[in-house]
Amino acid sequence: MYKNIFSLLICLVSASLISAQELTIELFQYENFKGKKEELSIGMYNYTDFKYLKNDQVRSIRVPKGLVVRAYFHSNYGGEFRDFKKDEASLGDWDQVISSLVVMTKEEYGDEPSLSDRNVVKIFSEERFKGRARVLKAGKYSYEQFQNIGDNNISSIRIPKGWKVKLYSDFDFRGPAVTYQLTKSTLGGWNNRVSSLEVIQDEIKEKGNYSGAKVIIYKNPGYKGMHLELTPGFYDYTDFNHIGNDAFSSINI
């Protein structure tokens, strides 16, 4: 009897240890979870990463408890976005418009930014928007102005739409630098390396409404081969994904 109870407890504990890392979301070609299906685990995906579905083809989605999907209107996580936290048999206004997405745990997702947070940048001392935080408006900041976060101690950043943040490894805005335009739950190789930074509002957006504008770069002449859609913003060759550095030969504006 005790052996059976012990075995049951082991099974229950094992089931409870199934983490969100092992879960997958499902994208479907048609409404009501029908047609071709794409299964994706935690990570970042462009439509070019899909095995079975094409661009702008998602019509329903299954999201298991513990995960959140942030879907983007454009590839490379650009344009408007919507968060899905549960199964959706029909996507309404988001039917057949998804070009890229991020699958994350609810812990990574954190609390939804308030309206006031959408007009400021927030830096955090820990990954996934945890630890000590500091709100920054447009301007230049040395590590002394990070206040309770300190030097070489930034690990995640919330960046609202239309803003960008340039990070520097040395004080007084010197040394190696990197620019981000999207919220980062982790800075990867830039974790705990920042000694100064610059918060900038996107000048392109200030000059006019370029919503929906995009440029397409192609690897081969004549608008052929692998291609990448770019919305208004600033890009380094590391953002070109599968095309690479010094590798595109034609451009469609």
Which CATH number characterizes residue 38's domain? 2.60.20.10
What is the three-class DSSP state of 248? coil
Angstrom distance (rounded) from CA 130 to CA 134: 11
Q: Are residues 89 and 131 in the same domain?
A: no
Using left for φ > 0, alpha for ψ between -120 and 50, and beta otherwise, residue 95 falls in beta
* Residue 7 resides in a domain: no
Strands 196-201 and 163-170: antiparallel
Residue 3 is assigned to a structural domain of this protein: no
Q: Contact at 8 Å (CB) between 249 and 216?
A: no
Q: How far apart are the first and last CA of the chain?
A: 73
- Residue 10 inside a domain? The answer is no
Q: Are residues 120 and 97 in the same domain?
A: no
Find the domain containing 231 and state its range. Answer: 215-252
Q: Is residue 156 domain-shared with residue 224, that is, in the same domain?
A: no
Domain limit, last residue, from 79, 109, 139: 109
Both tokens assigned to 155: 């690990």
Residues with Cβ within 8 Å of residue 39, at least 6 apart in sequence: 24, 25, 26
* Residue 242 confidence (pLDDT): 62
| Same structural domain, 149 and 88 | no
Measured from the Cβ of residue 93, the count of other Cβ atoms closer than 10 Å reads: 7
Residue 125 φ/ψ region, left for φ over 0, alpha for ψ in the -120 to 50 degree band, beta for the rest: alpha
Structure tokens at 8: 């049951």
Q: Are residues 103 and 58 in the same domain?
A: yes
What is the SS3 assignment for 95?
A: coil
With respect to residue 196, please indicate whether it lies within any of the assigned structural domains.
yes
Report the predicted TM-score, pTM, of the whole model to 2 decimal places: 0.46
Cα–Cα distance measured from residue 192 to residue 188, given in angstroms and rounded to the nearest whole number = 9
Distances (CA, A) of 68 to 8, 101, 105, 210, 219: 31, 10, 6, 29, 33
The pLDDT value recorded for residue 6 is: 44
The domain boundary residue, chosen from 53, 74, 109: 109
7 contact partners, CB below 8 Å, separation of at least 6: none
Query: What's CA 187's distance to the chain center, in Å?
Result: 12
The string over 222-252, giving b where at least 16 C-beta atoms fall within 10 Å of a residue's C-beta and e elsewhere, is: eeeebbbbbbbbeeeeeebeebeeeebeeee
pLDDT value of position 238: 63
- Domain membership of residue 206 (yes or no) is no
Question: Does one domain contain both 82 and 138?
Answer: no
Q: Structurally, how many domains does the chain consist of?
A: 3
- Nearest one of 246, 226, 247 to 75, comparing CA atoms: 226
> Among the three residues 74, 109, 144, which one is the final residue of a domain in this structure?
109
Whole-number pLDDT of residue 53? 94
Query: Which one-letter DSSP state was computed for residue 112?
Result: P
Q: What is the pLDDT along the chain (253 residues), one digit of tens a residue?
A: 544 544 544 444 444 445 556 789 999 999 999 999 999 998 888 899 999 999 999 999 999 998 999 898 888 877 777 889 999 999 988 999 999 998 888 766 655 555 445 678 889 898 888 888 888 888 999 998 887 788 999 999 988 877 899 999 998 999 999 999 888 888 989 999 999 999 998 654 444 455 556 788 877 787 777 777 777 766 666 666 666 667 777 787 7
121 shares a domain with 195? yes
82 and 150 belong to one structural domain: no
Look at residue 249 in the predicted model and tell me its pLDDT. Answer: 76
The arrangement of strands across the sheet holding 215-220 comes to 224-230, 215-220, 250-252
